[in-house]
């Protein structure tokens, strides 16, 4: 039985969920021994520890040494050595692997990709430890976002790849009537071919969640893939690449269909990205490098998720405490190091109406700071929610913001001590206050646990500012709190025009940061923060071409 036949029910169910946009996940997000096995936790930790302090063998083309780039935000000693390979050799090996992969056909490619996803799911604990140690995520987020949720996104991409490729028949008989004369008859055959070598450039904070969609979309549509992880978060990508190379080789395919390029030199990545053989690039990261890719890599289709200015508009609420608690959790989760975390909180200078009576601007600021304090009151909860700050640039940004350079400090950031990892870089959120005119402060992304309460003249002015923020700076999320339908309608129309997702009155256990595979459209492709939607068939449709051949039938 082929891998496709074994997994067809899973593929069909994934497409059903994606087409309905309903809740569905084939992979348990809870690290339960009943699901993953009684020894899964211990086995995963042991596997992770076995990588530390040694070489990570991949047997790739063009290896010319080893590179050890990672430093753990938790202060762990990783010292994993990865193969340092000649990019040109990786490209040549990828090109050589593609003809047999193309000849296998969409059905076999999709089936093998789904098998790879299920094998990655079985190693979710191992990957979670790698994600936690390299990114600074808390354990539960590392397990969920690094494992099952990332695997959901991979399966979603593969399902779309099957949907788009299965529309194309292998062949047809074309018959054109000629009146009294015999009809013209031709056999037309259609071959799906990949565009070329795909380059997937990972980010430092979500090395699987942001990598898997592009990786699996490209591979399932007939392309070889080179994964270039962020130098701060290599291990989760390396584990993934090894699993896929082993599976490909076991099925008789060239493992160089998937390879790992580890480098901490931007010029190496630039040379790789501009190579004529690279036909598609997936990138999540900074605006500067993302825009460089879009401008300079004209030979490739670039799918880029860049920095944006996510924000919240608070007009009024019928659940004031729940609003504060929901927003406090959104600001604290993984120390604001998510592409969907809100940064600017727009509040009318005259205050807001609530179920507890009118609240002044000053009260909203003070109460939000108190909600953050309440959430982080227990050290074990605080460390689990905040995780660790990954980069020194973010730590430097916290220091600058805390000096008052970008606004009045409402709530200072504080360093916390992790009960298990003494070297962990943990900092609570910093809350600043400024006015709408202080655009130099809040009108750009300040990545990390930094948020601004922005005083606006009115709700109407806030709606206009929101639309301009998205148009000029981009955003992946906008959120609104209001008891007035007219306000919700006005902001809804503004988000349609600026093309950004909107969350309305979130007061329960769903947060604006979160994006669910098969249901939410992550990235609209319509504003500067993302030039592609990552949750629809358009994400995969441009990764392959159809080449036909035709001949007469006697």
Q: How does pLDDT run across 241-283, given as a tens digit for each residue? A: 999 999 999 999 999 999 999 999 999 999 999 999 999 999 9
Report which secondary-structure segment, H or E, holds 158: helix 148-166
> What is the band of 231 on the pLDDT scale with cuts at 50, 70, 90?
very high
284 CB-near residues (< 8 Å, 6+ apart) = 201, 202, 203, 206, 210, 211, 304, 305, 339
Whether the Cβ atoms of residue 7 and residue 115 lie closer than 8 Å to each other: yes
Instruction: Give yes or no for residue 208 having a pLDDT over 90.
Output: yes
Hey, what's the torsion of the CAs at 506, 509, 514, 517, to 10 degrees? Answer: -110
Structure confidence at residue 442 (pLDDT): 97
Task: Name the DSSP letter for residue 317.
Answer: -
Structure confidence at residue 226 (pLDDT): 98
Instruction: Give yes or no for residue 118 having a pLDDT over 90.
Output: yes
Q: How does pLDDT run across 446-474, given as a tens digit for each residue? A: 999 999 999 999 999 999 999 999 999 99
Structure confidence at residue 339 (pLDDT): 93
Q: How does pLDDT run across 124-170, given as a tens digit for each residue? A: 999 999 999 999 999 999 999 999 999 999 999 999 999 999 999 99
Supply the mean pLDDT for the chain.
96
CA distance 357 to 335: 31
Q: How does pLDDT run across 21-59, given as a tens digit for each residue? A: 999 999 999 999 999 999 999 999 999 999 999 999 999
Q: What are phi and psi of 376, to 5 degrees?
A: -95, 15
Q: How does pLDDT run across 168-186, given as a tens digit for each residue? A: 999 999 999 999 999 999 9
CA distance 196 to 324: 49
Structure confidence at residue 535 (pLDDT): 86
CA distance 40 to 148: 14
Whether the Cβ atoms of residue 206 and residue 135 lie closer than 8 Å to each other: yes
Instruction: Give yes or no for residue 536 having a pLDDT over 90.
Output: no
Instruction: Give yes or no for residue 307 having a pLDDT over 90.
Output: no
**In Å, how far are 338, 399, 430 from 405, measured between CA atoms?**
23, 10, 13
Task: Please give the domain boundaries of the chain with CATH numbers for all domains.
Answer: 22-306+533-552 (3.40.605.10), 311-504 (3.40.309.10)
The pair of three-digit structure tokens given for residue 65, joined into one six-digit string: 């040494």
Nearest C-alpha neighbor of 410 from the set 434, 389, 377: 434
> What is the band of 516 on the pLDDT scale with cuts at 50, 70, 90?
very high
Residues facing residue 312 across a β-bridge: 345, 479
What is the percent of the chain where pLDDT is above 70? 100
CA distance 82 to 69: 9
Structure confidence at residue 30 (pLDDT): 95
Q: How does pLDDT run across 470-502, given as a tens digit for each residue? A: 999 999 999 999 999 999 999 999 999 999 999
Strands 477-481 and 311-314: parallel
Structure confidence at residue 428 (pLDDT): 97
Structure confidence at residue 554 (pLDDT): 81
Nearest C-alpha neighbor of 481 from the set 516, 450, 511, 507: 507
Instruction: Give yes or no for residue 1 having a pLDDT over 90.
Output: no
């Amino acid at each position: 039985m082929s891998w496709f036949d074994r997994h067809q029910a899973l593929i069909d169910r994934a497409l059903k969920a994606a087409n309905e946009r309903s809740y569905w996940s084939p992979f348990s997000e809870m690290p339960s021994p009943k699901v993953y096995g009684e020894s899964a936790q211990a086995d995963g930790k042991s596997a992770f520890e076995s990588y530390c302090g040694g070489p990570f063998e991949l047997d790739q083309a063009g290896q010319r040494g080893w590179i050890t780039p990672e430093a753990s935000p938790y202060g762990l000693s990783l010292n994993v050595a990865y193969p340092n390979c000649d990019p040109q050799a990786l490209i040549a090996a990828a090109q050589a692997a593609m003809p047999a992969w193309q000849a296998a056909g969409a059905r076999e490619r999709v089936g093998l990709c789904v098998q790879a996803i299920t094998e990655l799911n079985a190693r979710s604990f191992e990957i979670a430890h790698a994600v936690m140690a390299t990114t600074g995520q808390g354990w539960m987020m590392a397990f969920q976002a690094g494992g099952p949720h990332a695997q959901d996104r991979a399966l979603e991409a593969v399902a779309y790849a099957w949907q788009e490729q299965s529309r194309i028949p292998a062949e047809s008989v074309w018959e054109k009537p000629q009146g009294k004369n015999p009809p013209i008859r031709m056999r037309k055959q259609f071959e799906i071919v990949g565009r070329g070598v795909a380059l997937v450039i990972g980010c430092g904070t979500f090395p699987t969640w942001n990598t898997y969609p592009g990786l699996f979309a490209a591979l399932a549509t007939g392309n070889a893939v080179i994964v270039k992880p962020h130098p701060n978060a290599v291990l989760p990508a390396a584990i993934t690449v090894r699993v896929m190379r082993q599976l490909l080789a076991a099925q008789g395919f060239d493992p160089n269909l998937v390879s790992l390029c580890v480098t901490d030199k931007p010029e190496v990545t630039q040379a790789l990205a501009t190579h004529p053989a690279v036909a598609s690039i997936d990138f999540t990261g900074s605006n500067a490098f993302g825009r460089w890719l879009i401008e300079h890599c004209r030979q490739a289709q670039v799918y880029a998720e860049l920095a944006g200015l996510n924000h919240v508009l608070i007009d009024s609420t019928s659940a004031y405490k729940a609003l504060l608690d929901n927003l406090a959790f959104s600001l604290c989760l993984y120390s604001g190091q998510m592409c969907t975390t809100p940064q600017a909180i727009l509040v009318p200078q005259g205050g807001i109406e609530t179920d507890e009576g009118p609240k002044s601007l000053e009260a909203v600021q003070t109460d939000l700071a108190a909600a953050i304090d309440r959430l982080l009151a227990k050290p074990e909860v605080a460390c689990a929610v905040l995780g660790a700050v990954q980069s020194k640039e973010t730590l430097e940004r916290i220091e600058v913001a805390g000096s008052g350079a970008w606004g009045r400090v409402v709530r200072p950031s504080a360093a916390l001590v992790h009960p298990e990892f003494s070297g962990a870089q943990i900092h609570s959120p910093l809350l600043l206050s400024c006015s709408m005119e202080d655009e130099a402060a809040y009108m750009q992304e300040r990545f990390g646990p930094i948020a601004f309460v922005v005083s606006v003249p009115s709700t109407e002015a806030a709606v206009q500012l929101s639309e301009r923020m998205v148009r000029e700076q981009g955003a992946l999320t906008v959120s609104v709190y209001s008891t007035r339908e007219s306000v919700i309608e006005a902001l809804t129309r503004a988000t349609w025009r600026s093309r950004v997702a909107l969350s309305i009155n979130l007061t329960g256990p769903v947060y604006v940061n979160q994006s669910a595979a098969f249901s939410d459209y992550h990235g609209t492709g319509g504003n500067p923060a993302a030039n592609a939607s990552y949750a629809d068939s358009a994400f995969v449709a441009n990764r392959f071409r159809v080449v036909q051949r035709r001949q007469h039938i006697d």
